[in-house]
Amino acid sequence: MENLDIVVLRTLKAWREAGQRAMLTTVVRTWGSSPRPVGSIMALCETGAVVGSVSGGCIEDDLIAQYSKANAILDSAPIQLKYGISADEAHRFGLPCGGTLELLLEFNPDPTSLAELIAMLERGQLTQRCTDLNSGVVSLNASDAPSELHIDAHQLINTFGPEYRMLLIGAGQMTEYLATMALFNGFAVTVCDPREEYRGAWSVAGVTVKHDMPDDLVISFKADRRSCVIALTHDPKLDDLALLAALETDAFYIGAIGSRRNNLLRQQRMMEHFEQTEDSLARLRGPIGIYIGSKTPAEIAVSIMAEVLAVKNGVPLPRDMDVAHAKNTHEGPPIDPSAPVCFTGR
């Protein structure tokens, strides 16, 4: 499943290339609570077809009612609309109490410019789309770093990023659950497993499956700040070198499945055999996931996906949701890493 922004842009481009009138709607400001964040986009065709979202549905319905009429989408400069200014209007449009949002409507965007933007995103290029508010003319500029949406009296600058990517090491059952959830959350998913017996049973469509050695694939994957790398094999021969390679990248999330004891042993191996330190391993997460008492592969995958999304969205998790801290609290004293261990359990 593609990133929603790309789906919106691709659909809008197809409408415009087919000669249909259409508009691009962007959430540019919010006050109080709002259903969708600043930067969210929606496209509306003259037929009434909609892709994307700027609210819980009522504002979309109002826009359809206004702009799916004959000749309602004219060739004109962008306009700004506010919803939810009064309590009655907030209630009418299903906005939370006190919620207000402002939209920018761009009419009949140039399909050539849309195609160029989509191509840049498909190449993995972070891109600023700048819209002149007086003329509607759009320019595109490559960007090195994400930035917040900016709007003033003259222009709107909205930064579009390429898809978030997830590299999963190991093609087991839990990987299938996690890959499925990642796809629904807009991640492009790659699974790496050199073991044919695991790859042969893979059943999740829309995932790129590779047979390379994991550390080699991590290097060629070129993880950036919109990427995460997660090891799920429980096999140090596959996981350790891949995780060390990932730590050399800008990936926003790097972690490995395993128990608290396995996590301590992994860190010890890396320090003893690969000259790592506590500082160099600080970004390596484990045990991964948030503590929800998960036991089954599906539940563990839910806990991992929740943590990945929290880190992606910059949300700090309370310590009582951290797996290691929570289990230490509920299950007794800290683990002795010198005790016997099996690498096949979480």
Q: Are 179 and 294 within one domain? A: yes
Highest mean predicted confidence (pLDDT) among 57-61, 95-99, 184-188: 184-188
Question: Is residue 98 scored above 70 in pLDDT?
Answer: no
143 belongs to a structural domain: yes
344 belongs to a structural domain: no
Residue found by looking up tokens 């563990």 in the block: 300
Q: Are 63 and 148 within one domain? A: yes
Number of domains in the chain: 2
| The amino acid at 43 | A
Residue found by looking up tokens 């021969």 in the block: 237
343 belongs to a structural domain: no
The residues, any chain, with a CB within 8 Å of residue 38's CB and separated by 6 or more, are 27, 28, 29, 30, 148, 149
- At residue 280, the pLDDT reads 95
- At residue 36, the pLDDT reads 78
Average pLDDT over all residues of the chain = 88
- At residue 91, the pLDDT reads 60
58 belongs to a structural domain: yes
What is the enclosing helix (H) or strand (E) of 209? strand 208-210
Concatenated DSSP letters for 136-187?
Answer: --EEEEE-SS----EE-SSEEEEEE-PPEEEEEE--SHHHHHHHHHHHHTTE
pLDDT in tens, 192-218: 999 999 888 898 998 999 999 999 999
Query: Could you tell me where the beta strands, DSSP code E, fall in 17-116?
Result: 22-31, 41-45, 50-52, 79-83, 100-107
The Cα 108–Cα 96 span in angstroms is 31
Per DSSP, 228 falls in state E
- At residue 242, the pLDDT reads 96
pLDDT in tens, 257-300: 998 899 999 999 999 999 999 999 999 999 999 988 888 999 99
Find the length of the chain: 346
The Cα 18–Cα 242 span in angstroms is 46
| The amino acid at 200 | G
Please write down the long-range contacts of 11-17, taking CB distance under 8 Å and 24 or more positions apart. 11/43, 11/51, 12/43, 12/51, 12/109, 12/114, 13/111, 13/114, 13/115, 13/118, 15/43, 15/45, 15/49, 16/108, 16/109, 16/110, 16/111, 16/114, 17/111
- 327 three-state secondary structure: helix
Banded model confidence at residue 344, pLDDT cuts 50, 70, 90: very low
99 belongs to a structural domain: yes
Q: Are 29 and 56 within one domain? A: yes
Q: Are 62 and 131 within one domain? A: yes
Q: Are 142 and 115 within one domain? A: yes
The residues, any chain, with a CB within 8 Å of residue 99's CB and separated by 6 or more, are 30, 31, 32, 33, 34, 35, 84, 90
Q: Are 32 and 81 within one domain? A: yes
The Cα 324–Cα 263 span in angstroms is 10
pLDDT in tens, 293-341: 888 999 999 999 999 999 998 888 876 667 766 666 655 555 555 555 4
- At residue 181, the pLDDT reads 96
- At residue 140, the pLDDT reads 97
- At residue 227, the pLDDT reads 94
Q: 9, 49, 2, 1: which is closest to 26 by C-alpha?
A: 9
pLDDT in tens, 139-181: 999 998 778 899 999 999 999 987 789 999 999 999 999 999 9
Q: Are 90 and 169 within one domain? A: no
336 belongs to a structural domain: no
Q: Are 121 and 259 within one domain? A: no
User: What CATH code is carried by the domain that includes residue 210?
Assistant: 3.40.50.720
Q: Which domain holds residue 286?
A: 164-331
The Cα 222–Cα 78 span in angstroms is 38
Q: Are 168 and 156 within one domain? A: no
Q: Which of 119, 142, 160 is the last residue of a domain?
A: 160
- At residue 145, the pLDDT reads 77
- At residue 326, the pLDDT reads 66
The Cα 336–Cα 264 span in angstroms is 9
305 belongs to a structural domain: yes
Q: How far is CA 231 from CA 27, 120, 238, 296, in A?
A: 37, 30, 8, 18
339 belongs to a structural domain: no
103 dihedral zone (left: phi>0; alpha: psi -120 to 50; beta)? beta
Q: Are 180 and 133 within one domain? A: no
Q: Are 141 and 169 within one domain? A: no
pLDDT in tens, 215-248: 999 999 999 888 999 999 989 999 999 999 999 9
